């Protein structure tokens, strides 16, 4: 009887130990799973922070580019017109009564042109806010400025684009990408035509920019580390869950297509 009692007591103790070890392992498992959850949450947080930083950077770059254009316009255009006005007015002589109306008319025309230019400039300054009117409007304003130089034949096709609500962050990053690509074309491509398409499909928004410039060897550029601009384009596109496809070859022009989920 004593032996049986001892056996059963041992059995009960062992069973109890097993029944305590089981929840212990469960706790360890939950803790491990929770750690992974934290890692995932941290990654998500870091990604959000990077996105916010990149958004801020894009906003600042857009602002910087706008101010640069204002400075160029003030110096090259309005400044020249006002200088010409000053010269015209200083040439007015009381002794030359016959020439006065003509010179005053010229000065008036110059002042009117200056006013017109200033109005356009104010639109450029306001351009930063243009994103609030949609990406297509912002691109159109940017191209208006580029058209002034008459150096390019520019075609812009906004196809089915409808501005979506709460997508301003995506739009500002896409707009900044557009500016960056246009800057690259102006600086390096020696192109004469630029085709821009902004196409909205049910789930995506595609911005396609094609030029007929000198193009480049894509693989070589990336290998030689000259592709910093390209890397930035890819990085920013991926930040808004999009993709950037660059196609180029020497003397064949360049096409950059950015596809983002939208709206």
Partner 1 sequence: MIYVTLNTVSELLCFLVGLFCLANDKQAIWKLLVVYLLFTLLVEVGGIHLRRVMHTSNVMLYNFALIMECLTVSIVFYQFYRNHKNKMAGLIIWLAVFFVCYFLELLSSGFKNFVFKTTSFMSIVFVLASMYYYYLILKDEEFRELKSYAPFWWVSGTLFFYFGSTACNVFYDYFMGDRTQLSGLVRYWIFCFLDIILYGCWSYSFICRYKQRTSRRSSF
Contacting positions for partner 1 (CB under 8 A): 2, 5-6, 8-9, 12-13, 15-16, 19-20, 22-23, 26-27, 30-31, 33-34, 37-38, 40-41
In this structure, the dihedral spanned by the alpha carbons of residues 226, 227, 228 and 229, taken in order and rounded to 10 degrees, is 120
With respect to partner 1, which residue has the nearer C-beta, 26 or 91? 26
CB of 16 to partner 1, least distance (A): 5
Q: Which two tokens stand for residue 79?
A: 């400044």
Shortest distance, position 49 Cβ to partner 1, whole Å: 16
**Is the CB of 16 or the CB of 53 nearer to partner 1?**
16
Minimum CB–partner distance for residue 35 and partner 1 (Å) = 9
Nearer to partner 1, 17 or 228 (CB): 17
- Is the previous residue joined to 263 through a cis bond, with omega within 30 degrees of 0? yes
Q: How far is the CB of 1 from partner 1 (least distance, A)?
A: 8
Q: Which is nearer to partner 1, 27 or 87 (CB)?
A: 27
Whole-angstrom distance, CA of residue 146 vs CA of residue 152: 8
205's CB contacts (< 8 A; 6+ apart) are 135, 161, 174, 198, 199, 259, 260, 261, 262
Q: Nearest approach, Cβ of 42 to partner 1 (angstroms)?
A: 9
Q: Tell me if 179 sits within 8 A of 164, measured CB to CB.
A: no
Pick 46 or 72: Cβ nearer partner 1: 46
Q: Of 149, 141, 138, 106, whose CA–CA distance to 121 is shortest?
A: 141
Collapsing DSSP to helix, strand or coil, 261 comes out as: strand
């Amino acid at each position: 009887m004593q032996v049986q009692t001892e056996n059963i007591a041992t059995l009960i103790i062992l069973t109890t130990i097993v029944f305590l070890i089981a929840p212990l392992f469960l706790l360890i498992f939950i803790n491990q799973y929770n750690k992974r959850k934290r890692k995932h949450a941290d990654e998500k947080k870091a990604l959000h922070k990077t996105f916010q930083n990149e958004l801020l950077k894009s906003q600042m770059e857009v602002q910087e580019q706008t101010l640069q254009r204002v400075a160029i316009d003030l110096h090259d255009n309005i400044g020249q017109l006002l200088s010409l006005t000053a010269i015209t007015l200083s040439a007015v002589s009381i002794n030359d009564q016959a020439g006065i109306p003509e010179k005053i008319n010229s000065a008036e025309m110059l002042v009117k042109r200056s006013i017109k230019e200033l109005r356009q400039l104010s639109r450029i300054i306001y351009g930063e806010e243009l994103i609030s009117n949609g990406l297509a409007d912002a691109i159109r304003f940017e191209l208006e400025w580029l058209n002034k130089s008459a150096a390019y034949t520019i075609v812009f096709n906004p196809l089915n684009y409808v501005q979506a609500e709460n997508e301003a962050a995506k739009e500002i990053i896409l707009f900044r990408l557009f500016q960056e690509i246009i800057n690259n074309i102006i600086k390096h491509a020696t192109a004469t035509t630029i085709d821009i398409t902004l196409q909205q499909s049910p789930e995506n928004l595609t911005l396609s920019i094609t030029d007929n410039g000198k193009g480049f060897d894509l693989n070589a550029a990336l290998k030689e580390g000259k592709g910093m601009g390209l890397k930035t384009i890819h990085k920013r596109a991926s930040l808004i869950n999009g993709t950037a496809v660059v196609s180029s070859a020497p003397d064949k022009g360049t096409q950059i297509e950015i596809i983002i989920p939208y709206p």
